[in-house]
Structure 1
Amino acid sequence: MTPPEHLTIRSPEDVLGFIPHSLGYWPSASLVAMTLQGKRLGATLRLDLPGPDVLAQPAAFARTVCTYLEADRNADGSLLALFTNNGWLAGPDRYGSLLGGLQWALAGAGMPVRDAWYVGSEYWRDALCADPACCPFPGRPVQEIRDSTLNAEMVYRGSSVGPAPQEQAAAVLPGSSLHFAAVREAEEAWLAQLDLRRGSRPQFDAVLEVWAALLNRPPGEPWLPEAERDGFLRATLLVPRWRDAVLMMAAAGRAAAEAGAAQFAIFRDECRLEPVAPPAEAFGAGPGREAAAPGGTPNSRATETGVPRYGDVLMGIQPAAPDWERLDALDLIFQQLAPSGGKAAAASLTGRGWIAWCRGRGSFSAAYLAQALDLEPGYRLAELLLELVHRGTVCGWAARKEAAWQKFGPDAA
């Protein structure tokens, strides 16, 4: 990845304008906490604003916030924004104890709060200033945030602020019902053949080769409807070990995918059927960028001890940093495969949920996983991942600045 550029923040409006771009949506009923490294912005954390019981005794909530922000080991300060929308004018009365608890806890953790703001649907104001002479009620128009210099620069760079995660996850991509029907028909035909080859090593290799060819496509290349290809891809996601191998390959390379398959002993010597796959022209096969896992090459048999294990990749522990370009490409493929519905859509949404969690976007992850479970109740991987999200577990890559996903490329300073 190219070295990040710097975004210059000159005012509170710039900070507040950066938050929706960082999250991907304009938050509501949310606490957003950001770490500072000197004058540079660090990590961004969003949590639902707590209810009355927690507001009465905010110490535990404040400690939780500190625990998350302490993952940024270089942080020496923090910023807070309370997006309250309803009743925000009563901020000091309703959220004063929460703000005080956060100030005390963050100061004790070496990340003193340097600024804090209340943001409503129409107005925003400084949460630490009670002087009506400089901070009069009801505050300053939210439009100032939307018109900030940094917001304009973000838009110029191609960033956009979309709807809330639940609305984005539920959105259906435009497409022909005839195409979706053709994809489902092709999926059933491919699955009948693939079911006979679940234990075949050559078939496993053929599946990875198809997915690798798609992950290697040049960025920005349009995704054209192709029923046979999409049906094949969806059918492969219905075999859990192949689905997992695709996730592993995108994040950590072919060697990690192969090592995981060997770890779970999915191959059977008696399965000798010739492998099947769409013709090469259907998925754009050709030379492309290959990503090797530590200790292996893209096409190795992955017997080296340095290859990341499945569980470590799933939790973002290994490799030191994932292949974000491939994960971004995989996310786009899953986005295209989901609208045709069925269990394969649940697999695609679960994959998107895992990628969102790896990116540190818990709200999006929860929305995708919940939608997967709506489509396929009891879908095990979605259940496990959603439990991690609800516990507040942070993906290992998201917790390390040097490994974390960058939405824009630039840091903010």
Structure 2
Amino acid sequence: MTAPDHLRISGPEDILGFIPHSLGYWPENSLVAMTMEGKRLGATLRVDLPALGGGAVGGRSGGGGGNTAAPGRGGAGSRRHSGSGRSDALAGFARNVVSYLQADDAADGSLLAFFTDTDTNSDDGRPGLAVLLKELELALEAAGMPVRDAWVIGAEFWRNAYCSDPDCCVPPGRPIEQITNSKLNAEMVFRGSSVGEAPGAQDTRPAPRPVDPAVRTAEFGWAAQFSSRRRDRAQFAQVLDVWTMVMQAAAQSPDLTPELTGYLRASLCIPSWRDAVLVMAAAGRPAAECGAEDFGMFDPEAGSAFRPGTNSSPGPGPGPGPTPSPIPGPTPSDGQPACGADAGPVPGADTLPGYGEVLLGLAPSVPDWALMVGLERVLQLLGSLGGGESTAAAVTARGWIEWCRGRGSYADALYRQALQDYPGYRLAELLAELGRRGTLCGWAARREAAWQKFAPDAA
């Protein structure tokens, strides 16, 4: 969602009311850290709170609402050594938080919000909360992002983490309704934003849509045809033609004919085609084509790569309608430079990113977020039709898009959904491992490239 003008923040209730809209859900047992540039909010990072009462310190990140920062600016952090193992662990946790926020190199301050399920006027036997706040202060100060304010938000009350004056901070704190009924929260709702369930809090899978027998028949039919053509250049080009058409039309018409739906679902079961679709959505068709050539996805054949030919199967109908006409023979290059041994020098080919760079969000400098939204809408439809590998592919690809946005919690929930429905699905396993390691998408780590749920000047 974009906002044409600034959203005004008049108090801490507005800041805390903005967080659930930024993340998409009300966080629990979480630290939410936000960077600031002057008086403007920047990156938002959510991580699980560590075990403050002792034990191992961990945290799963899940950013949202802008560029979730990653390592990139000076090696800051607390260099003080504590005599206690718990304090050492909390200091390490604080350094990890800072490492995520450091890529927001315009930041000159930070805000902290501790979301707990306990009373706000006691740490529920966890005095480590004060220790954690101190470690975060030290680490953020050293990184050039000093803490400007901090709050503790419980199930029913919230309070300022620094206020100990009973005259202004009467225990157990202020009612949570001050946040949920804040002016900014009302403004966000008016603009169309909503706060949903936390990822993984319950079975968030959409109710499966009744599968049209025609869709199932088409999918099986296309899968049989594709099985002998997965290394065919002309077939690959046609698949990209069809996906391009569907993604571009998704904003106007998310409905697909049964034949086209079956075609798309079957194409996702070819890993090289699936990956090419993701790369094309983010980085453009030339990157998808040249990357496929670089990976040796095709059988050797004479002539220029991606030359129109007759090896591809007839295409599906182009869109909804009772009597769709077939797609003409593939015209894969569409004026773009071709790849291949005898294609000659390709202008700008040395700047085309590889598949690995795109899938990690390292290139291009800014992805095509609009086309990725179109892809997401198509994947939502395809992933709601029955089960099997094609559904796992659609759900996993949606998880990748969420990860590219910096929404790690949503991505993780989708990977787990895919693996629950189709155990052992390799792409879901690999991407889930990236999340477990705390790897952030390169685009989410840079302000100029990051997905914006709200306009850059929204707050």
**TM-score normalized by the length of structure 1:** 0.91
- Report the Cα offset of residue 282 of structure 1: 4.2
Structure 1 counterpart of 2:67: none
Q: Any residues of structure 2 matched to 1:353-364 within 5 Å, and which? A: 353-364=399-410
Structure 1 counterpart of 2:76: none
One-letter identity of the residue aligned with 2:451: W
SS of the equivalent of 1:153 reads helix
Deviation sequence 1:132-156 (CA, Å, 0-9, x none)? 1111111111111111111111111
Structure 2 counterpart of 1:279: 317
SS of the equivalent of 1:90 reads coil
SS of the equivalent of 1:398 reads coil
Alignment of 1:332 onto 2:370: no
Alignment of 1:348 onto 2:350: no
Unaligned runs of 5+ in 1: 286-295
Structure 2 counterpart of 1:288: none
Structure 1 counterpart of 2:276: 245
SS of the equivalent of 1:35 reads strand
Distance 2:336 2:288 in 1: 10
- Report the Cα offset of residue 337 of structure 1: 0.9
Which deviates the most, 69-78 or 181-190?
181-190
Of the candidates 193, 199, 209, which is equivalent to residue 225 of structure 2? 193
Q: Any residues of structure 2 matched to 1:280-319 within 5 Å, and which? A: 280-282=318-320, 299-302=336-339, 303=346, 304-319=349-364
Count of residue correspondences = 401
SS of the equivalent of 1:245 reads helix
- Report the Cα offset of residue 98 of structure 1: 0.8
Of the candidates 112, 117, 142, which is equivalent to residue 108 of structure 1? 142
Distance 1:249 1:395 in 2: 17
Structure 2 counterpart of 1:290: none
Q: Answer whether contact 2:265 2:390 (CA < 8 A) is retained.
A: yes
Change (3 A) 1:218 1:245: closer
Which deviates the most, 19-28 or 378-387?
378-387
Q: Answer whether contact 2:217 2:262 (CA < 8 A) is retained.
A: yes
Deviation sequence 1:21-74 (CA, Å, 0-9, x none)? 110111101100000111110100000011132573210000001101111101
- Report the Cα offset of residue 306 of structure 1: 1.2
Q: Any residues of structure 2 matched to 1:261-276 within 5 Å, and which? A: 261-269=292-300, 273-276=311-314
Alignment of 1:224 onto 2:255: yes
Change (3 A) 1:325 1:11: same
One-letter identity of the residue aligned with 2:172: P
Distance 1:332 1:167 in 2: 23
Structure 2 counterpart of 1:291: none
One-letter identity of the residue aligned with 2:241: E
Q: Any residues of structure 2 matched to 1:7-86 within 5 Å, and which? A: 7-51=7-51, 52-54=54-56, 56-57=86-87, 58-86=90-118
SS of the equivalent of 1:196 reads coil
Change (3 A) 1:156 1:24: same
Distance 1:297 1:320 in 2: 23
SS of the equivalent of 2:350 reads coil
Relative contact order, higher structure (CA 8 A, sep 6+) = 2
Alignment of 1:158 onto 2:160: no
Q: Answer whether contact 1:66 1:109 (CA < 8 A) is retained.
A: yes
- Following TM superposition, where does structure 1 have runs of at least 4 consecutive aligned residues deviating by more than 6 angstroms? 1-4
Deviation sequence 1:245-270 (CA, Å, 0-9, x none)? 00001001111110111111111246
Deviation sequence 1:345-369 (CA, Å, 0-9, x none)? 1111110111111000010111111
- Report the Cα offset of residue 272 of structure 1: 6.1
Structure 2 counterpart of 1:289: none
**TM-score normalized by the length of structure 2:** 0.82
One-letter identity of the residue aligned with 2:187: E
Q: Answer whether contact 2:260 2:319 (CA < 8 A) is retained.
A: no
One-letter identity of the residue aligned with 1:334: L
Which deviates the most, 311-320 or 376-385?
376-385
SS of the equivalent of 2:427 reads helix
Distance 1:346 1:68 in 2: 30
Structure 2 counterpart of 1:126: 160
- Report the Cα offset of residue 329 of structure 1: 1.3
| Aligned-residue identity in percent | 53
What is the RMSD computed on CA atoms of the aligned residues? 2.4
Which deviates the most, 366-375 or 272-281?
272-281
- Report the Cα offset of residue 175 of structure 1: 2.5
Structure 1 counterpart of 2:245: 213
Q: Answer whether contact 1:206 1:276 (CA < 8 A) is retained.
A: no
Of the candidates 271, 290, 301, which is equivalent to residue 259 of structure 1? 290
Q: Which has the larger radius of gyration?
A: 2
Distance 2:372 2:335 in 1: 16
One-letter identity of the residue aligned with 1:268: D
Distance 2:186 2:3 in 1: 22
Q: Answer whether contact 1:31 1:48 (CA < 8 A) is retained.
A: yes
Alignment of 1:395 onto 2:441: yes
Distance 2:378 2:336 in 1: 22
Distance 2:300 2:127 in 1: 70
One-letter identity of the residue aligned with 1:162: G
- Report the Cα offset of residue 370 of structure 1: 1.2
Change (3 A) 1:183 1:370: same
Q: Answer whether contact 1:173 1:336 (CA < 8 A) is retained.
A: no
Distance 2:116 2:223 in 1: 49
Of the candidates 430, 436, 450, which is equivalent to residue 384 of structure 1? 430
Distance 2:334 2:121 in 1: 59
